[in-house]
Amino acid sequence: MKAYTKIASVLFVLLQITAIAQKKSAADIKESEFYKIIDVPIPKDIILEVGGLAMTDDNKLGVSTRKGEVWLIDNPLSKKASYSLYANGLHEALGLAYTNNGFYLSQRGELTRLEDKNNDGKADVFKSIFSWPLSGNYHEYSYGPKIKSNGDLIVTLNLSWVNGVGGVALTKWRGWMLQITPEGEMTPIATGLRSPAGFGINENDDLFFTENQGDWVGSGRLTHLESGDFAGHVSGLKWTDDPKSPLKLKIEDIEEFSGMTLFEYSKKVPELKAPAIWFPHTVLGISTSDMLYHKKGVNFGPFENQLFVGDQGHSKIMRVYMEKVNGVYQGAAFPFREGFSSGVLRMIWGNENNMFVGMTSRGWASRGRKPYGLQRLEWTGKTPFEIKTMKALNDGFLLEFTKPVNKKFAEDVANYDMKSFTYRYHRTYGSPIEDNQNAMIHKASVSEDGKTVKLMVHGMRLGYIHQLKAQGVKASSGEKLLHNAAYYTLNEVPGGVLNSPAMPEMPKKSNEIKQKKRTIEMPFTWTDGPDRKITIGTKPGMKFDIKEITLARNAKIELNFINSDDMLHNVVFAKPGAHVPNTLGEAALALGLDAPKYNYVPNSPNVLYHTGIVGPESSEKIFFEVPKHPGQYWLVCTFPGHSNTMKVKVIVK
Ligand SMILES: [Cu+2]
């Protein structure tokens, strides 16, 4: 996960907390009526950078940490929750599971079983179940285990990261999901994984993992993995010549720039698995993490059998409804709950129907500004008015609501809006939104009981994400939808034949939009060239490599922005004002699906000049004239989530 690509700068973040009181968003306030976030107290001397969570059979909450400790929390629901150290000296424990054999956890280089034989509350057995080689590369995170119904243990291994190259598999089985018996027999299951911090198993023993945007990964996504599957990142294919590998596909079998989407390419390469769910980048999170099934019997509201997916950068949890159509998993992702105190990494069901949420920001400034945290989410007993499920039909979608709808509003097609779009499959980091097209809701009909609405849609497209906005739909009581957006990934339709008329061919608009405040060629009026050339780079932890710069008023500047980081960034020269950087960051987020088209730069009078969005290991030069009025201006990155740490004071004299 992205957070782990950054070196912890905990102290820096701590300083920030004192400076910035956490602001509650409007969504957070509305959501809290239905789902309450409650702190689990953490003693001051414990740095609980949560890596894994597991409930024991005597209702203690086990927490493993990046620092290599395992804590047992007694009475985790009470204000008097008490902590005891169960184990320490472990190597970065980013996953934890509990069985009647004790705890299992992943360390960087092995799957380990812990047991407390003499019952003194501390582990005395540290048994290595299976180990894998390490190169020493900082990015070799190991996650899990999750446990299959037969007791086998599943782990996932993050790719190494090499600057200038991207995700690589420096050692055996990096980029893979492995199945390991409690006796230590290992079977490789699937590859193509890049940063598989989140994965899970449903009640049918089906395996899924979540992925973050990155090289070969256009946006966050959830993929169903079966033996022999290839999920898209080529580097793990390095190990397919091992006799144990269930697939033979090679790195060179995949074109680096085919111009295709992953869905299209998967029709060409049978091993390649298209995701069941896409999470549009910055719209539904930026770094998907853990997944948790709403299992039967948990008293947590109307979403039984659905899936919750965490997001680290946005400190929130999304909700997913999945269905199997023609044997293929697909479905819809919805916003669910935001406002957690740090980056959401782990979720687990506790006793008494609480969801525990374990967090760490790792200096990768998550929206929740604390460096780490442990909270729980509690259903208040009130049912929100939500789109509960969204199912694909061959000519539209079937929506089920949590409460009966007002028929008049729900049958008015003007109260809906639909678009479809996709991402490109290529070795580059991320992908812009491709081929965004309007669809048309042709007819909306409400069921007798008012709980379902059938939408007939023109312009549905296989392999595309369908964004539904149901902004005008109200409950029969007049209540508005808590969240009116849904994102359905359409891989298949029932019966196999799509029966949705195509939209009339629109004149193809170029994806490139000319932005007046971005000048990438030296103006021809600068006959003597720039007065000054400056270079700005990036540092780990979402920072620029300078904190302050002084510029002469009216000077002609050539600014070279070199992004040596592994994320996307831009540079925006902004007007004075303490709140300007964060205001611009929020305005960029509000651009939604259009953000990439505008380089994540909002249309605001506070923006004076800017670069395009610059990928990892890339650069861009821009040319501008320093304003004539002296003052303290800004250079800020407006990519969502970055403006808080990525800013430079510009003193104009
Ligand atoms: Cu940035």
Distance 572 CA to ligand 1 centre (A): 10
Q: What was the pLDDT predicted at 8?
A: 31
* 188 and 139 fall within a common domain: yes
Q: How far is CA 46 from CA 219, 227, 437, 618, in A?
A: 35, 40, 50, 40
Q: Give CA–CA dist 430/195, Å, rounded.
A: 13
* 51 and 170 fall within a common domain: yes
Report the CATH number at residue 416. 2.60.40.1220
Query: Domain for residue 228, yes or no?
Result: yes
Distance 600 CA to ligand 1 centre (A): 10
Distance 585 CA to ligand 1 centre (A): 10
Q: Give CA–CA dist 366/371, Å, rounded.
A: 9
Q: Which of 310, 344, 379 is the last residue of a domain?
A: 379
Q: What was the pLDDT predicted at 512?
A: 58
Give the tens place of pLDDT for each residue, 21-31: 445 777 788 99
Distance 138 CA to ligand 1 centre (A): 21
Contacts of 296-304 with CB under 8 Å at 24 or more apart are: 298/349, 298/353, 299/353, 299/379, 300/353, 300/355, 300/379, 301/34, 301/35, 301/379, 301/383, 301/384, 302/383, 302/386, 302/388, 302/402, 303/388
* 374 and 478 fall within a common domain: no
Q: Give CA–CA dist 461/275, Å, rounded.
A: 15
Distance 521 CA to ligand 1 centre (A): 23
Give the tens place of pLDDT for each residue, 450-488: 999 999 999 999 999 999 999 999 999 999 999 999 999
Distance 287 CA to ligand 1 centre (A): 14
* CB 9 within 8 Å of CB 322: no
Distance 569 CA to ligand 1 centre (A): 4
Distance 6 CA to ligand 1 centre (A): 13
Distance 212 CA to ligand 1 centre (A): 16
* 374 and 396 fall within a common domain: no
> What is the pLDDT confidence band of residue 618, given thresholds at 50, 70 and 90?
confident
Specify the 3-state DSSP secondary structure of 411: coil
Distance 636 CA to ligand 1 centre (A): 8
Nearest CA to 157 out of 144, 147, 142 is that of 142
* 117 and 240 fall within a common domain: yes
Tokens encoding 588: 């960029």
* 271 and 191 fall within a common domain: yes
Domain region containing 648: 532-652
Sign of the CA dihedral running 522, 523, 527, 531 = negative
Query: Domain for residue 499, yes or no?
Result: no
* 243 and 302 fall within a common domain: yes
Distance 69 CA to ligand 1 centre (A): 32
Q: Which of 325, 357, 379 is the last residue of a domain?
A: 379
Q: Which of 426, 456, 490 is the last residue of a domain?
A: 490
This prediction has a pTM of 0.82
Distance 95 CA to ligand 1 centre (A): 29
Q: What was the pLDDT predicted at 106?
A: 97
Query: Domain for residue 15, yes or no?
Result: yes
Q: Give CA–CA dist 620/610, Å, rounded.
A: 10
Distance 516 CA to ligand 1 centre (A): 21
Distance 281 CA to ligand 1 centre (A): 14
* 311 and 403 fall within a common domain: no
Distance 19 CA to ligand 1 centre (A): 21
Distance 638 CA to ligand 1 centre (A): 6
Distance 230 CA to ligand 1 centre (A): 30
Query: Domain for residue 519, yes or no?
Result: no
Distance 542 CA to ligand 1 centre (A): 6
Distance 312 CA to ligand 1 centre (A): 16
Nearest CA to 43 out of 79, 17, 67 is that of 79
* 584 and 638 fall within a common domain: yes
Distance 58 CA to ligand 1 centre (A): 45
> What is the pLDDT confidence band of residue 71, given thresholds at 50, 70 and 90?
very high
Q: What was the pLDDT predicted at 21?
A: 42
> Is the pLDDT confidence value at 273 over 50?
yes
Distance 200 CA to ligand 1 centre (A): 30
Distance 297 CA to ligand 1 centre (A): 43
Distance 249 CA to ligand 1 centre (A): 35
Report the CATH number at residue 604. 2.60.40.420
Distance 274 CA to ligand 1 centre (A): 29
Query: Domain for residue 566, yes or no?
Result: yes
> What is the pLDDT confidence band of residue 368, given thresholds at 50, 70 and 90?
confident
Distance 47 CA to ligand 1 centre (A): 27
Strand ranges across the sheet with 344-349: 35-39, 372-379, 355-360, 344-349
Nearest CA to 559 out of 477, 483, 633 is that of 633
Report the CATH number at residue 360. 2.120.10.30
Let me know if 313 is exposed, middle or buried by CB neighbors in 10 A (0-12, 13-18, 19+). Answer: buried
Q: How far is CA 515 from CA 6, 315, 580, 597, 603, in A?
A: 32, 31, 20, 10, 10
Average pLDDT of 85-101? Answer: 96
Tokens encoding 150: 């037969």
Burial readout 20-33 (b: 16 or more C-beta within 10 A, e: otherwise): eeeeeeeebeebee
Q: What was the pLDDT predicted at 2?
A: 46
- Contacts of residue 297, defined as CB under 8 A and 6 or more positions apart, other chains included, come to none
Distance 558 CA to ligand 1 centre (A): 20
Distance 540 CA to ligand 1 centre (A): 11
Nearest CA to 181 out of 145, 229, 207 is that of 145
Distance 231 CA to ligand 1 centre (A): 27
Query: Domain for residue 170, yes or no?
Result: yes
Distance 599 CA to ligand 1 centre (A): 11
Average pLDDT of 181-198? Answer: 97
* 546 and 451 fall within a common domain: no
Reported residue count of the chain is 653
> What is the pLDDT confidence band of residue 1, given thresholds at 50, 70 and 90?
very low
Greatest CA span in the chain, whole angstroms?
82
Residue 590 identity (one-letter amino acid): A
Distance 644 CA to ligand 1 centre (A): 10
Q: What was the pLDDT predicted at 505?
A: 61
* 352 and 406 fall within a common domain: no
* 44 and 142 fall within a common domain: yes
What is the rounded end-to-end Cα distance, in angstroms, of the chain? 42
Q: Give CA–CA dist 368/97, Å, rounded.
A: 26
Query: Domain for residue 503, yes or no?
Result: no
> Is the pLDDT confidence value at 557 over 60?
yes
Q: Number of folded domains in the chain? A: 3
Average pLDDT of 392-402? Answer: 98
Q: How far is CA 278 from CA 273, 317, 462, 475, 485, in A?
A: 13, 15, 13, 28, 14
Q: What was the pLDDT predicted at 20?
A: 40
Query: Domain for residue 255, yes or no?
Result: yes
